[in-house]
Amino acid sequence: MTKFQSLFGINETEIKNTCVFLPLIGKNVLGWLGVEKLSKGRVYSSGNSAHFTVIQTGMCPVFSGDAVLYLSQTQCKNIVLFGSCGLVKKEKELDIGSIVTPEKCYSMESFSNMLLESKKQYTHFFPDMELLEKFGDIKKVTCATLGSLKLEENSGNIFKSNGIQIVDMECSAVFSAAKHTGIKAAAIFYITDIIKEKPFYKELGSKDKITLSSSIKSACGLLCKLAKKNSNV
């Protein structure tokens, strides 16, 4: 067994042109993506649909960033990070269930920097613009990748001063690693919570749950179409 297979659960030769990163796997998502099952490795779990490879990375910028670096040794050319995000505040076209794509992502991955507020200027990274354009009319937003769920509640001033609309826990690591390796990367997120108004630790109402499930299913369909177009690119 190779190092790659030990980590990812499948051999590097099985990796397809496009990879979809799932920090967590929600109900029905694998089926909507056309993946029967994932093979478990020591760090990641992986599996293939007809046109792309799905990799469960876990909720951590380290694991997601490392996955990009490992994939640079394969035929992977496109990475789409697909998962949930939090909304800083409700806006027009931005609510629970909204599908968004970051056009800019601030790196606030350090728990210590967030805790001490010692770093006032945060580095930011961008998706591959060619890949981003293929997402069509998906709402483009500014994102921040955070190192703490607790501290996000007190970071309103930082979010406001930088125009940050959504927050996640992996995106900046994926974008920075992709830039380093030359792999094209972008992200598609669905909004699952609103900081302070509908926080992540409170259960959503039935209406929001229905809206969210429908949005995730639609986003999975979009990913499948995108990967099919990119399968030979």
140-176 pLDDT tens trace: 999 999 999 999 998 988 999 999 999 999 999 999 9
Reported pTM? 0.95
The amino acid at residue 206 is S
Per residue in 173-191, pLDDT tens?
999 999 999 999 999 999 9
**86 touches 200 (CB < 8 A):** yes
What would the two tokens of residue 151 be? Answer: 């501290």
Alpha helices for 20-162 (secondary structure H): 29-32, 61-71, 111-116, 129-133, 156-161
How would you label 9-35 residue by residue, b for 16+ Cβ within 10 Å and e otherwise? Answer: bbebebbbbbbbbbbeebeebbebbbb
Q: According to the model, what pLDDT value does residue 118 have? A: 64
Residue with tokens 């990009």: 68
What residues make up the domain containing 204?
A: 3-230
Average pLDDT over residues 70-86: 96
Q: Classify burial at 177, counting beta carbons within 10 Å of its beta carbon; exposed 0-12, middle 13-18, buried 19 or more.
A: buried
Q: Which residue has the tokens 């728990």?
A: 111
pLDDT in tens, 33-42: 999 999 999 9
CATH code where residue 41 lies:
3.40.50.1580
Place of tokens 């992709």: 178
Count up the domains in the chain and report the number.
Answer: 1
